[in-house]
Structure 1
């Protein structure tokens, strides 16, 4: 009644006009419920009291149906749920009749929709169970079937309110649902009021007293779950119901309508600002009927909500505008659901079309940042050598402020490290709060409100962490958690799949390499041995040993090459299969590097090659000193052999992020061949063309040894020309600080 009173000038409860409107409102509400009003609608549309009452009632009733849907087909579940949702009905989906009865016991619905053909308890059995229960006997039941014809005796005896045949369209289902609900409202005792058969009927006096209560419309306006706003002809807000007051604040009614877009930062769904002229209530005041106007607003906790607004002008009996009314529907759930689905599709497309793991991660972060409106997203991957998180990819939205990136993060430290340690999502509603896990230097540089972290898994193992920052306050949200967990699961699986594909590629390459071994690396020395042996056999019996010395030297030299090659291959197979035993003890890597450099220096001096070192006094790693010396000998031997005369070879060793990092740089293999240098039997074109001896197994053996030490060996270009080989091993930290570096030439 309050909204009507505010639309009437100087209401006086004692005057006949007020009593007349009061009686009209109650008659209208009753006629709307019974459907009788539609026969009188043409002559009622000029009455502002009637129009406003009908508008509020229809808006209210359109959102009130609570429907239990029993359907075992997942596709039909999604379709029917979407249709009912668009009809503004609250829906609970269950897979069979037993689950439907359990849902009904928890909360009585306005309508039950059941498929006839279901496991455990089918739709017909469910309908009969409802009809047998005196408390539920009047509940409307809509049966859906593609199995039984309408004339089937089972359907006739089930007692269903209506039967809907499959296949059906959106309009057919909507009409059937509305007819069932209308039947319930027109005849509550016989179609869904749920009253017991022995319960006494309500007296006419009680009904008349309820409908004539002046608090009826006020209670209606302030109890519905949608926002209602009313303004007068001057654009002054005369009513905001409880829903809107709770959303915008108790003093929101005092804000001038023209100031709302600026005061409450109102925008369209796409984020563009909303002008005062585009406000639905202002448009309705100008005579426009507004349907489904989109609005993005923030509640008092600065959480975004996506709204749809319907608005209409209100006229007096002479047809003159006297105000406008608007109904505000919060469709944030639907909007977020659509946005999440589009985000997931974009991420899956990015993972499918990316050329490599790095490109896939970058494209996935771009899709997430774009669709979820996150200005800053970062992917961290666990480094098995240092047992730290290292940055792998970053997305920064156009115009967004980039944040400082730590070189690495340890377990339990900062947002990403805490997520890595706990293995579960972390939500940070306020990055500047005292208890925020954000690093202080990052928080100081962040103009963002909220942040979060989600573990990236490969099976049960956490292989990385995805972190994000947002301008909007982000509370823990189940739907978003499910989405992000799914996306990071896809990302982790993609990275592992790429790794598996790389191993499969290496296996295929290994087969080719073994064929090449038989075809070249073994046949070449065997050819020399066979030819020399034949020549020796053709010599006369009285030939002296001195005359055969040259041929015998060729046989001995090629036999030694074959033996070395076979030994290296057997060693490589033993290392890769895990059969080769390696000791593990604290080893001073500086001492090993120093000895290896000293042993290699004479070969470098012979070609005027300078060996320059930059080493600490001590750096301890766990490992096998003999095998590590073998790796250093291989790496330094290659650096000397493949460098031109007079070149400089640099050897640096230092500790970084719990890892010992050794780098050897030299003017080496051509830059377009670096990706192939770690393959078995591969030799750079400079080695082949210049006749540099070797088997092509040195770097491959070195990588196998470093892998067994839980380290990595990589080969990268050293601009402008040359090669840089980097070895990383887990480092044993000491309590005393590492002494200063020693540089020698």
Structure 2
């Protein structure tokens, strides 16, 4: 059971010796961390400590394998000390299982760092005062053998003879180095040489490294083992300073290559020191083969280069920090965004974050709330939005995701952040919203000018620009007028001046003249562009509102800061202008169509009323002349001319009657006289009327009609439908053609279908068959007469009966017309 003797620890003589040792030990030639590493290796322990014991704390002047929190040369609280047990006992101490010992199971080393076993031997100065200990610690329960304890004693003797009073000598250490037991256990190659650099001997590890046995190297000079001539020369210059120096000047570390007996070179890390003994100075060299380390470093460099190349090739930004929150990765995407080179520093990156990164509302983000540091504390950050404001560049919107980097044991060793620039995506989404807003504004406005305030407000929000104007062309004056604007600029002078725009002058006038988009990064640079430009707003983008190569208006936007996304903004704004232009063209087209329709109605009224009266007179007089009993025998040629006039006048009267019927039907002025009527009987009457014409043209008519088919409708108008459909089918069927009529009733009403094998209708003409006065191209190029009113009248009558009419076009030739009349029309 270990014991702490407070009297021993607090003894003033011992404490003074310990404090003197703490000052002297770091200056010794022997590297104390190497001494600790040697003790750990020869005992197979995880950790080793060279400690100096004060009263309430101890100092780790040399250590190996300690956790980072303890690997310090600062004072360590006595609660973590096991050196106190060795100093109190003043002889070697070994504990095989601290957890099994009631006095040690709660020791801080065991609880916090998993220590289970330790062994230690005292360190004494030249006056035989115990100043500290050499301790090895393991994380598993184990027994330390007597041989291992003896080796610890011999290693501690390397530090024996610490000055009490007077001059320090290395004689005890030199004598200890003669111990074969210690040197044989050392896994590092050890070479001892005299003051001239001649080899005196080396251990088995050196023999394995260099290929010579100890007897073979006697007389060999150390510099002969160095492969590089430059390092050999450096050794020659350094050796005298090592021999004449003191403290730190008596040791030297270097990395180089030494020559094996067979000639190949071995990379080593060398630590050289000089000890003074009774026989004179002794040059001691510890050599570590770093072949594996160099290969690992080379592999690490390759991996680091590959990783850096991979990270720099990414379009997204990547930032990583280590466990101390120092930025270790800042890839090319991030460097390009911030306009910094590869010589960035962690401090620079931290300052850029503080200066430039904001919440979306403009609120600064404290450095401790950076995604990387939040992830380092264990938080997982997912797609959080932020904005970056960089002088001379447009503001960028980023989304950042971060997560900790975790070791296999669950501890965090860093954090990584990925940043996506979503500025363009957000802007496109804003423009989509803008298009919807513009469409809604246009659809609810009686005129485009009424929608102008809502349109400019939506465009300003989409661009994020403070001032937008919509100029439209006045059809009467041919000049642009300000239909509306939206401005968030605080200065009243930023409001537009509603004066006439001169074509070719200013931003708006130039776009009006050229019908081309215009980007003006600085309107102040050109006096002509400053006209119509709001004060303090010097960057302008204007696009024409196009229609058939002309500008129906101009959409002009201004901002007070430069925006570099010229092509994208122009394209997006042009799509809004085109949307407005399409609405203007649609409105103009609708107005023109209305005017044409009014003109056609006026023509119908003229034809129906102004032509009918004189035509009636012509027909009456021709009938009188032809039937005059006082002129029983008109000359043959005269009678033929009079009959021609009568026949064509009848045709003209039929056209006028059709025009009047169509006008009355379409205006709603013609009222039906619905009654119960047998459609089958009407069908047979119509067939009887058209059959002579069909027979004359060798056209066969087939009818499938039930004996009785009672419907509710206007008998005269239903007969008009049947006459028109049958006459058209016969008229456009060639000799030998066939016309089929079917009539039937189903649960939806009554259906009449007339099909023919006639000339058909070309595809470009099919959409116009119900237009007034329209005839298909193939009909116009034949001698078949027609005015283009029959189908228009049929459709008007069918619609008046609340029915439908459709036309089908078989793949070979011919046409089919189907009329559907619903039940339920009130008589």
Pair in the same fold by TM > 0.5: no
TM-score of the pair, normalised by structure 1: 0.37
TM-score of the pair, normalised by structure 2: 0.33
